[in-house]
A and B are shown apart, each in its own frame.
Chain A
Amino acid sequence: EVQLVESGGGLAQSGRSLRLSCTASGFSFYDYAISWVRQGPGKGLEWVGFIRSNSYGGTTEYAASVKGRFIISRDDSRNKAYLQIDSLTDEDTALYYCARDRYYGDRVVFRGLDVWGPGTPVTVSS
């Protein structure tokens, strides 16, 4: 079964750091980019960042609102992607999803964010 599962969320203090994990199974993780999307309480979806396949350099893109505080990385040997959040603020309180993004096979193919994890909640307390 093709699956993504996030972990690492919880209660964290304002100003501290937190690292979330996204574990993939059932597909060739190394061939895919991963996006991270968050959803604040009662709010809509906010895309926060993306990491390419290592075959395309494993480079990253970020939303302007999080650039400089969020760092996305990946470890293909563990089928994991990571989202590190530094200098946590109240505005980071949200449910964080990872989603399967572009396929980097013979050619780059994007067919939507087609696989999502159930999300991991982050609550920032001041």
Chain B
Amino acid sequence: EMTQSPATLSVSPGERASLSCRASQSVTNKLCWYQQKPGQAPRLLIYDASTRATGISVRFSGSGSGTEFTLTISSLQSEDSAVYYCQQYAYWPYSFGQGTKLDI
């Protein structure tokens, strides 16, 4: 089971946001992060806990291993307002966290 915190985060433009994801058991580094804006499909940001997907801004960075993971978004912009999900793929079934809503 994946648990994300906080449920909602409000941050000012230009600041940095840190979103947390905790796994109930070790997933080593087999963790992804996705961004979902209203009315859109999710977009992959990070895989293998810290590798940015193709075309993703360097403002997005992932860290962690085992059971504790963090998505950091620097120099926040209004376009970063979205819900962010973590997902583990270390074991079946895959599972998503419940999401963190980020308001800029």
Contacts and interface: CB of A to CB of B under 8 A. Distances in A.
B94 A112 contact: no
Interface in A91-125: 97, 99, 110-114, 116-119
B41 A97 contact: yes
A113 B99 contact: no
Given A113-B32, A113-B87, A47 B42 contact: no
Contact of A44 (B48, B85, B92): B85
A97 B40 CA distance: 11
For chain A, give the interface size range: 20 to 34
Nearest to B85: A45
Contacts of B95: 47
> Which of A35, A45, A61, A116 counts the most chain B CB atoms within 10 A?
A45
A50 B48 CA distance: 19
A46 B42 contact: no
Nearest to A118: B41
Contacts of B47: 110-112, 114
B43 A116 contact: yes
Contacts of B48: 111
Contact of B94 (A50, A97, A116, A118): A50
Contact of B96 (A45, A61, A117): A45
B44 A113 contact: yes
A111 B52 CA distance: 10
B93 A64 contact: yes
14 contacts: A35-B94, A44-B99, A45-B36, A47-B93, A63-B93, A64-B93, A99-B42, A110-B47, A111-B53, A113-B34, A113-B44, A114-B53, A116-B42, A119-B41
Q: Closest 6 A-B residue pairs measured CB to CB? A: A112-B47, A116-B41, A112-B44, A47-B94, A112-B32, A45-B96
Given A113-B34, A114-B53, 17 more contacts: A37-B96, A44-B98, A45-B34, A45-B96, A47-B87, A47-B94, A47-B95, A61-B92, A62-B93, A64-B93, A110-B47, A111-B48, A111-B51, A111-B53, A112-B32, A114-B44, A118-B41
